[in-house]
Amino acid sequence: EFHCILKVQLPNWLHVRDSISVWKRSKVCEMVFAGEEDEDDDGDETIEYKYIPPEEILPTNLAAPCMSHLLPKQTVDVGTMEAPSSLKKEQNKKRKHTSTNPKDPPNTIIESVKQKIKKFRKRSDEDE
């Protein structure tokens, strides 16, 4: 009937792992599957499920820091709709190599845009 929307570790001793969590009542939704008409008894089947809005879903991919490299890199934090900090660092490194500073000569900007288009095309070709 409830879903967790926040879980935070509390300051504590090394041997204790206390945390505080915030829970929100889930909206209960029903789905009715109509039975066949030729059946004599009531063939309708009703199933209830809880609806959790996407912005309230906690991430399912969790890893200890020593195993974080095994997590998918394309994951996005649904709550903030931002990429994880490790992915942001990689993106920032790539941006440093291709500058689009207005003070740069126009040829440099054009070349960096061309490189980005080529990379985008390669990724889209690989996805197909």
DSSP collapsed to 3 states, the chain: CEEEEEEEECCCCCCCCCEEEEEEECEEEEEEECCCCCCCCCCCEEEEEEECCHHHCCCCCCCCHHHHHHCCCCCCECCCCECCHHHHHHHHHHHHHCCCCCCCCHHHHHHHHHHHHHHHHHHHHHHC
Give the residue from 53, 45, 78, 62 showing the smallest Cα distance to 3. Answer: 53
Residue 75 CA, distance from chain mean position: 5
61 has pLDDT over 80: yes
pLDDT digits (tens, 9 = 90+) for 71-127: 887 555 544 545 555 555 555 555 555 445 555 555 566 677 777 777 777 776 776
Q: Strand 2-9 vs strand 19-25: parallel, antiparallel, or unpaired?
A: antiparallel
Q: Which pLDDT does position 23 carry in this prediction?
A: 95
pLDDT digits (tens, 9 = 90+) for 17-42: 899 999 999 999 988 887 776 655 56
Direct distance between the N- and C-terminal alpha carbons of the chain, in angstroms, rounded to an integer: 41
Average pLDDT, the chain: 75
Give the residue from 50, 60, 10, 55 showing the smallest Cα distance to 26. Answer: 50
For the question of whether the overall pTM of this predicted structure is more than 0.75, the answer is: no
The answer to whether 47 touches 31, Cβ cutoff 8 Å, is yes
**Bridge partners, residue 14, by sequence:** none
